[in-house]
Amino acid sequence: MHELSLAQALIDQVKLLLKEHNANKVLRISVEIGPFSGIVIDSFEFGYYALIKEEPSFIDSKLEIITPPALYQCVFCGRKFKEDELTKDKRCPFCKDSFLTPVGDGDILLKEVEME
Amino acid sequence: MCEWCGCGQPEEHHGHSHDHNHSKIIELNKSILEENNKIALKNKEHIEALGAVGINFISSPGSGKTTLLQETIKRLKPRTKIGVIEGDIETQRDAQRIREQKVPVVQLTTGGACHLDARLVHKGIHQLEHELDDNNLNFLFIENVGNLVCPASFYLGEHKRVVLVSVPEGSDKPAKYPKAFIDADLFIISKIDLLDYFDFSIDEAKKEALKLNPKLDIICLSSVTGKGMDEWINYLLNLIKKE
Ligand SMILES: Nc1nc2c(ncn2[C@@H]2O[C@H](COP(=O)(O)OP(=O)(O)OP(=O)(O)O)[C@@H](O)[C@H]2O)c(=O)[nH]1
Ligand SMILES: [Mg+2]
Ligand SMILES: [Zn+2]
């Protein structure tokens, strides 16, 4: 359950932003979770809404989660494609090779905060 | 104030903002892990100032991290200086096993958290310094909390990240837990003395892991029979070889 620590880190980061911008209420937070982050989105949301119960300035906030698709790159032909473009047996749609590496993010980014 | 963690320094935030009626929207593009990663980079400097190479061991519970550490210490202690940071949810057991080998060790208990983070390790390095007779090490081994998912998100400032999968766990683990392999430097397939009793395919495990991370080094070993240990010890010694 590292999702809970991540939700806490998010809240801490946004609290600093509130102070910096002289705002006292968070309306919306937009977060991007990379496809290879290993983060369970439900647990992250659950953690966030559990933690903000103790945070008056967050209590009405909405957490928006963006999940970009996983991209794969074929090691042989070098082309990139989305997971749903793979052949049925998980091969490169162009050259049919099976040696594919994931490209894309394993990170979790704070994209936007709306506050007043 | 500690020179390594930089605590007390003002936070920097970069972002554009524009007003929206009464509310204000701030655009950023900032990792939630940035705070952790900043501290991790300080840890790295700190480890280097001790003269050491830092190694972070990640695996599921029971894959053989502590046993491998014990066997590694047996072989390296006569010729190198080793320090160990043990991460566990509750107990001191793993640290005790290392302490019996007369190696400086610090136990970090996470109090429920399933991973070490950079802040904890920062504390751990300071504690470890109290156990050193001079501030000088060749290796700092960090055994993460037994868990193949969560520790993978938290950079600790290590130079090499080692992920272990033991033969009884099955060769599908790389495919099922990609994050742990994408960011690793070395993949150790442990407990290979048990290959006859499980349907573990070394080829499958290697192939799946290399798909995720073509630069990954792979070593197969057993802490019980010692098979593969020479390759592992050489891997470590190469890390501290001076040019
Ligand atoms: N057969 C065999 N057993 C091993 C080997 N290495 C470790 N074990 C056994 O596996 C069990 C777990 O080993 P540990 O070294 O405690 O595993 P760990 O990864 O440190 O476990 P946690 O710290 O709880 O995550 C112990 O009973 C070890 O004796 C090996 O190479 N072969
Ligand atoms: Mg252990
Ligand atoms: Zn291709």
pLDDT at B64 > cutoff 90: yes
The residue-averaged pLDDT of A87-104 equals 87
Residues B109, A57: Cα–Cα separation, whole Å: 32
pLDDT at B201 > cutoff 80: yes
Q: Which of B20, B115, B212 lies closest to A2 in CB terms?
A: B115
Contact criterion met (CB below 8 Å) for A32 and A104: no
Domains and CATH numbers, chain B: 19-241 (3.40.50.300)
Helix or strand (DSSP H, E) at B85: strand B82-88
Percent of the residues in chain B that have a pLDDT greater than 70, as a whole number: 91
pLDDT in tens, B221-241: 999 999 999 999 999 999 998
Sign of the Cα torsion A82, A84, A87, A89 reads: positive
Residue B152, chain A, CB below 8 Å: the answer is yes
Question: pTM for this structure?
Answer: 0.87
Residue B174 Cα to ligand 3 midpoint, Å, equals 22
Give domain A2-115's CATH architecture.
Answer: 2-Layer Sandwich (3.30)
Degrees to nearest 5, angle at CA B112 with B54 and B45: 20
Which residues of chain B have a CB within 8 Å of the CB of A100?
211
DSSP-based three-state secondary structure for B195: helix
Q: Which of A2, A5, A108 lies closest to B31 in CB terms?
A: A108
Residues B187, B118: Cα–Cα separation, whole Å: 22
Residue B9, chain A, CB below 8 Å: the answer is no
The residue-averaged pLDDT of B23-34 equals 90
Residue B213, chain A, CB below 8 Å: the answer is yes
Degrees to nearest 5, angle at CA B174 with B92 and B198: 80
Domain boundaries, chain A: 2-115
The residue-averaged pLDDT of A1-17 equals 91
The residue-averaged pLDDT of A18-23 equals 94
Structure tokens belonging to residue B23: 């509310």
* pLDDT value at residue B9: 39
Residues B169, B149: Cα–Cα separation, whole Å: 14
* pLDDT value at residue B16: 61
Do B32 and A23 count as a contact with CB atoms less than 8 A apart?
no
Residues B90, B69: Cα–Cα separation, whole Å: 19
Confirm whether the ipTM is greater than 0.90.
no
What pLDDT band is residue A106 in, cutting at 50, 70 and 90?
confident
Where b means 16+ CB within 10 Å and e means fewer, B71-104 reads: bbbebbeeebbbbbbbbbeeeeebbebbbeeebb
The residue-averaged pLDDT of A23-48 equals 93
- What are the distances in angstroms from CA B106 to CA B43, B88, B96, B132, B187? 15, 11, 10, 11, 25
pLDDT at A88 > cutoff 70: yes
CB B195 near ligand 1, within 6 Å? no
